Structure 1
Amino acid sequence: MENKTGKYIKYAFGEIILVVIGILIALQINNWNENRKDRIKEQVVLKQLQEDYQENLIQLEEKMTTRDKIIFSAIKLLKAFDQPNEVAHDSLVKNLANAFHDPTYDPIQNDLTSSSNLILIRNKRLKRLLSNWSSDVVGVIEIEVNWSKTVNEEFAFILAELGLGRDVSNSFMNDSKHLWLLDKNEDSYKIEIGTSKLSAPLDEILTSRKLEGLLGNAITLNKAANLQSEALHNRIQEILDLIDAEIKD
């Protein structure tokens, strides 16, 4: 009886061990399968993020180029204030039209950086950059909003006071390059509205304190926006580099 009991206990113990081993193997296989699915999902998310941030980078560079043109034109106009005898009306209007731009950065917004997708991304540095993205963009947008408000509420009013609204609008529509347009066809937005016979003489335009002050503001705000954009540009490039390193061919 003792021998039979001992054998039964050993048999039962062996059965328990086999069941436990089977459960552990099944769990391991299930975990492996879930990890494999997560890696596939991670690759899908990374590739979509790669496309989005490449578009964000292109748009940011276009906005920076437009701001450089605003700054360049504003500097030329301030020089015209200092040396009014060397200024032509057409050149003045063209530079005013270039300074009249108000580029705003509008990056692609998606749910790929939500918590559920961020969990899939294993690279800790990349995960942190993606989670901080929204706050990084704010620094650029805040300055843009100030300049856009200045353009629409002050610049347009000053141009109207000086009788330059029509001339500048005509140059803006026909001579300026608009990188922000989805359709880059230069003829798609052109419309001839003519020039005004009511514009103020050059000596009155180039002695306008309001216009001079606004041009100084144009340089300050757009330079600040571009400095912030350069930092954001570096962030986007780092994100793209990290994504490239994680994507499997």
Structure 2
Amino acid sequence: MMKFFKKIRQKMLTESKFRKYLLYAIGEIILVVIGILIALSINNWNEKQKELAKEQLILKQLNSEYQSNLNQLDQKILMRNEALEACNNVLNHIDNPNSIKEDEFYQSLWILFRDPTFDPIKNDIVGSENLRLINNDTLVRFLSNWSSEVFQVQELELEYQKFRTEILLPCYLRLGVSRNVNNNLWKDGYTPTEALDKESKKKFTIKPTKKSLNLNKILEDVELEGIVSQVITHHQVTNIQSQTLRMRIINMLEIIEREIKK
């Protein structure tokens, strides 16, 4: 083909048809440019298709991860709601000591001692080149803010871990209720809310303490009453933050599902 064009050029030059040659040369340049542009366009289209395919894989991975995160977060919110109910039960026993139900009281004390902590799946999308493959700007913003928002919830959870270890546990030990609390937990079988195997119900024999334990005196303990009130405030605040985080996840999942269906 190149030899053919070369012969035509030479023929035009020898025949002194410079104007025609110039027009031909311009036309040839235009054809070459068009060919290059078409090749670049095809190459860009192929690259774009590859990026779109990769984006779909990332979106599907994110959909799975954040659905798991939502399930786990719901579990932690549930645990705190159960703790709030347990706090109300303990305060009700404190306010009405004559109607105390021993098993219910010990069960409530155990629920207060549980430690709900949110540990979401971590991905490497943010901070990597994969983030640029996501075309939805709102989703990119949510993903970029995710770590800092999770940290705000986890900070509150760490505060409760410290509170439980340094204040709640010493109070239980001082009041002498720990053995009875744990005996009540295991005697009929127990499956934690956060258990991986929800069907597993383990029993264990501890037996209650043989020491003299005056529940009415325990209910008069002002420190226990204050601790329970503090647990209510802490779990309420943490759940408020967790609900906000939950809405973030739901918004992300809605966007992801729409982007996957495109």
The alignment's TM-score, normalised by the length of structure 2, stands at 0.89
**Deviations 1:63-103 (CA, angstroms, capped at 9, x unpaired):** 11110010101111112111111113222111111111110
Q: CA deviation at 1:192?
A: 2.4
What amino acid does structure 2 have at the position aligned with 1:70? A
Matching residue within 216, 230, 233 for 1:220: 233
**Deviations 1:181-232 (CA, angstroms, capped at 9, x unpaired):** 2222332x54322221236311221121221111011100001111111111
> Counterpart in 2 of 1:179?
193
Aligned residues: 248
Q: CA deviation at 1:139?
A: 2.1
User: Is the 1:164–1:199 contact (alpha carbons within 8 Å) kept by the matching residues of 2?
Assistant: no
Classify 1:124/1:107 alpha carbon distance in 2 versus 1 (closer, same or farther; 3 Å). same
What amino acid does structure 2 have at the position aligned with 1:86? S
Q: Secondary structure at the match of 2:261?
A: coil
User: Is the 1:104–1:144 contact (alpha carbons within 8 Å) kept by the matching residues of 2?
Assistant: yes
**Deviations 1:8-46 (CA, angstroms, capped at 9, x unpaired):** 222222221111111111111111001100100000000
Aligned-partner Cα distance in 1 for 2:161–2:190:
18
Cα RMSD for the two superposed structures: 1.8
Matching residue within 126, 130, 155 for 1:142: 155
Q: Which stretches of structure 1, 4 residues or more, deviate above 4 A after TM superposition?
A: 173-177
The alignment's TM-score, normalised by the length of structure 1, stands at 0.93
Aligned-partner Cα distance in 1 for 2:81–2:69:
18
What amino acid does structure 2 have at the position aligned with 1:182? L
In structure 2, runs of 5+ residues without a counterpart are 1-12
In structure 1, runs of 5+ residues without a counterpart are none
User: If you compute each CA radius of gyration, which structure gives the higher value, 1 or 2?
Assistant: 2
What amino acid does structure 1 have at the position aligned with 2:28? E
The more displaced of 21-30 and 136-145 is 136-145
2:171 is the alignment partner of 1:155: no
Q: Secondary structure at the match of 1:197?
A: coil
The more displaced of 74-83 and 27-36 is 74-83
Classify 1:73/1:237 alpha carbon distance in 2 versus 1 (closer, same or farther; 3 Å). same
Q: CA deviation at 1:125?
A: 0.9
Q: CA deviation at 1:111?
A: 1.1
Q: CA deviation at 1:137?
A: 1.1
Aligned-partner Cα distance in 2 for 1:95–1:196:
18
User: Is the 1:98–1:172 contact (alpha carbons within 8 Å) kept by the matching residues of 2?
Assistant: no
